[in-house]
Chain A
Amino acid sequence: MILLLISVFIICLFLRFPIAYSIAISCLVYIILKDIPLIILPLKMYSGIDVFVLLSIPGFILAGNLMNHGGLTEKIIDFCNHLFGHVRGGLSLANIGASMLFAGISGTAVSDTASIGTVMIPAMKKEGYKSDFACAVTAASSTVGPIIPPSVPMIIAATLTGLSVGKLFLAGALPGLMLGMGFIVVAYILSKKQPHKKQKRSSFVRVLKGFFDTFWALLMTFIILYGIIGGVFTPTEASIVAVVYAAFIGLFVYKKLSWKRIPAIVLDSFKTSASLMILVGFSNLLGWILVTERLPLLISESLLGITTNKFVILIFINLILLLVGTFMETIAALLILFPVLLKVAVTVGVDPVQFAVIAVLNLIIGLTTPPVGVCLFVASSIGKISIDQVSRAGFPFLLVSILVLILVTYFPQISLILPDLFFD
């Protein structure tokens, strides 16, 4: 029966049903054949989204959108241009730096690719960089978004396991920075081959002004992290404080946001959140079916039957997650696989907080790999070149991501040092 469910799910997925509906239709087939009352559909949907910590997701998405519409993206890019513009590959470094700063307010990779990419890709092309390189830098650097806090996948992981959101946010910070720094090194080396013009060195005063302009964005990240870690706010409260703060900065400090635009931004943010929550709700139903069928136990027993060596198990898990991540959307894959694989990882002695970082890192790598890398699609459509060209140019960045993944997998301190420092 479970094989039928999985087959229906895969067929629906490949026929281009929305992922959430593919999950629901495969569950529906199972429910009908098993003669389970259909009231389970709304019941599991409701219980899946009636979780207090999930309230933070629309909050963080809305705060990011308000900051973006409030003119912050331009200011971040402007600051990074002044900071890096004069060095070799300056604009590509500025692109990565902007993504790292933007990650602190957004939490999703696609919004990062779209926001930074629409400004940076044309600017890089104008300065002489090749289109494929400009798109590849943009797509790769945006993957730091879901790992540097605040992070939507980390909130989902916390919801699935009951782990502290604050701990998971902190656990992702260092790997996120490593990823960004790795991209900067690769972009710097690759820029030798780019026939780009160097910009003039900006004066210290100009760089300082740029810093003060973006200071408000950095302060928002600090408020969120300090609020959650310091026990001042719950994650949901922190997200709403971020919304109020972002609206205030956009309206009264940057003055780029108008009261009239706020309802449209709220609507857009909640439509994005609704698409995620429907996925969460139907995955809750799928999760219930999988547990009823004892699938997590079966997978756990099968994997542990092969070996109980922690390092080998982690290789298996990484390969499974990387493979799934190349075909499936991050949140959907996380919802389905994370609880199942966590059980195996914990059995061989992996810390659940470290495992959350490993899982998220694996799945975000899929955002820049064909055939369904969403960031690749967005970047290639902005740069007006084929996905193949972008993915080829992005290969060195992919190697950096895999290197960071290996380090995070085999050196738990990278993920655990900050949570241990602040929480214990």
Chain B
Amino acid sequence: MKVNGNKVFTLLEWGTIFSAFGLIFTVILQIVTRRFFVDIAPAWTEEASRFFFIYAISFAAGLAQKEGYYVSMDYFYRKFNKGLKRILDLIITSLSMILFLLMSVFSVHFILLGTVETSPGLGLPMSLAFTSMLILSSSILYFLFFQLIDQIRTVNK
């Protein structure tokens, strides 16, 4: 199943690029304001750069899953036969899906916790920052799901 051109993929790509440029911009602003205008950079710039960073990482996490950026140790795996490899692939993807499904569900609880807190510098509800964890876990889960379908098809062939 081709997911390369789908909207979620594009959305995650744009989310990563926007957050990355947001991070670069706020850090530059921090340097410029501190060096040329006031001795201490406004506190909100550090907070904003942290928010942009976490969002950039969260948007990129799913893309990294899809494109195999997560390092694994395949020394023993390489020695297994084809059939065993296929079964193992199914187990790895299924268990990873359970992990990120649980993380997605409890990210919602985490977001709810953040509704009563505000960030000290920007005054934004912390639930906004905590939403990044839902994006991170659900996007990985999303690509794991398509990976599982591909693996089931391969096994059936």
A residues near B, CB below 8 A? 13-21, 24-25, 28, 38-39, 41-43, 45-46, 49-50, 52, 54-55, 58-59, 62, 233, 236-237, 240-241, 243-244, 263, 266-267, 269-275, 277-278, 327-329, 332, 371-372, 374
Contacts and interface: CB of A to CB of B under 8 A. Distances in A.
Contacts, number: 158
Contacts of B77: 15-16
B70 A20 contact: yes
Closest 9 CB pairs of A and B: A18-B70, A274-B60, A42-B133, A16-B77, A371-B75, A270-B60, A240-B27, A275-B69, A271-B64
A243 B130 CA distance: 27
A233 B137 CA distance: 33
B141 interface: no
B66 to A, nearest CB: 9
A275 B91 contact: no
A236 B48 CA distance: 13
B6 interface: no
Interface in B49-90: 49-50, 53-54, 56-61, 63-64, 67, 69-77, 88
Given A58-B53, A237-B31, A241-B31, A275 B133 contact: no
Contact of B30 (A17, A41, A49, A237): A237
Interface string B114-137: 000000000000000110111011
Contacts of A329: 71, 73
A25 B27 contact: no
Interface string B28-42: 101100000000000
A267 B49 CA distance: 18
A22 to B, nearest CB: 8
Contact of A16 (B13, B30, B60, B92): B92
Given A266-B17, A273-B60, A45 B133 contact: yes
A39 B110 contact: yes
A317 to B, nearest CB: 23
Given A240-B28, A271-B67, 17 more contacts: A39-B106, A39-B109, A42-B106, A42-B137, A43-B110, A46-B54, A55-B49, A55-B50, A58-B53, A233-B31, A263-B17, A267-B13, A271-B64, A277-B61, A278-B57, A329-B71, A374-B71
Contacts of A278: 57, 61, 64, 70, 136
Contacts of B61: 274, 277-278
B42 to A, nearest CB: 14
Most buried by A among B17, B63, B73, B77: B73
